[in-house]
Structure 1
Amino acid sequence: MNYRWLLRAKRWAQNPPSEGRVKFIAAIILLCAALFAIDRLVGWPQWLTPNQVPRGRF
Structure 2
Amino acid sequence: MFNMRQFFRMAKWARNPPGEKQVKLFLIVVALCLVLFGIERLVGWPDWLTMDNTPGGKITR
TM-score where L is the length of structure 2: 0.74
Separation in 1 of the partners of 2:54 and 2:43? 29
Give TM-score, length-normalised by structure 1: 0.78
Count of equivalent residues:
57
Distance 2:36 2:11 in 1: 34
TM superposition shift of 1:54: 5.3
Q: Report the aligned-residue RMSD.
A: 1.7
User: Quick one: percent identity of the two aligned structures?
Assistant: 46
Paired with 2:3 and 2:49, the residues of 1 have a C-alpha distance of: 41
Cα 1:7/1:55, change in 2 over 3 Å: same
From the superposition, tell whether residues 9 and 54 of structure 1 become closer, same or farther in structure 2 (CA, over 3 Å): closer
> Higher relative contact order at CA 8 Å, sep ≥6: structure 1 or structure 2?
2
Q: Which runs of 5 or more residues in structure 1 are unaligned?
A: none
Query: Residue deviations 1:7-58, cap 9 Å, x none?
Result: 00110011100010011011001101110110000112234344x4854645
**Equivalent position of 1:41 in the other structure:** 42
